[in-house]
Chain A
């Protein structure tokens, strides 16, 4: 069974631009979560989607948004990029709605660099 697939693997953008990252979950998984990983802040929760609905959102500004499609694929968007948005963005999928009873399986991430 294929794992979580994230595209693209690497992305370079300039300040002020916007970016869209894509995630395909493991087949049969209906929940998708996004995390940001930086050296300074570590792993921080962005949001979780289940059945095309955002179930939970972390403490990030409104410039960070996401959506989930009917086939469970998900995208996240960051508008008006800032230098501090440079990070590894990780997508994870799970079978069930709540990660506590269904572990998260992560993709290899998208490395975003903002210049």
Chain B
């Protein structure tokens, strides 16, 4: 079945770049997403990329997609303490008929050290 894998933890120093990696399995995925979750809050959509793209940049965020290896990464430039949160990768896949749903990874806890 569909599966999304992420490493569980990442620690970086304030001001450094963070790179969060994700692998997915569904070859029919058309969009891949990155969400951020802070303690006690819901999921905040950060960015998403269409599967025919290789890269998308949005201010401090850069998403790289390697469709051949089914690998997605999120790079956060100049990481700040406010970036400390759990980051979820998600893929959209065709589940039944014309209905689609998201499958999420287990999340990567990013800790930014001062």
Contact = CB atoms under 8 A, between A and B. Distances in A.
Say what secondary structure dominates the interface of chain B.
strand
Interface residues of B, number: 25
Chain A interface size band reads 20 to 34
Interface string A18-35: 000000000000000101
Interface in A74-93: 90, 92
Contact of A100 (B30, B105, B107): B30
A70 interface: no
A71 interface: no
B44 interface: yes
Given A42-B104, A106-B42, A56 B31 contact: no
A105 interface: yes
Nearest to A107: B42
A111 to B, nearest CB: 8
B43 A45 contact: no
Contacts of B42: 4, 6, 90, 106-109
A43 B101 contact: no
A8 interface: no
Contacts of B33: 103-104
B99 A45 contact: no
B102 interface: yes
Given A99-B31, A100-B31, 16 more contacts: A48-B99, A55-B99, A56-B95, A90-B43, A92-B43, A98-B99, A99-B102, A100-B92, A100-B100, A101-B31, A104-B45, A106-B35, A106-B43, A106-B44, A107-B42, A109-B42
15 contacts: A33-B101, A45-B102, A48-B101, A56-B99, A58-B101, A98-B98, A98-B99, A99-B101, A99-B102, A100-B30, A100-B31, A100-B92, A104-B45, A106-B44, A108-B42
Interface of A: 4, 6, 33, 35, 42-43, 45, 48, 55-56, 58, 90, 92, 98-101, 103-109
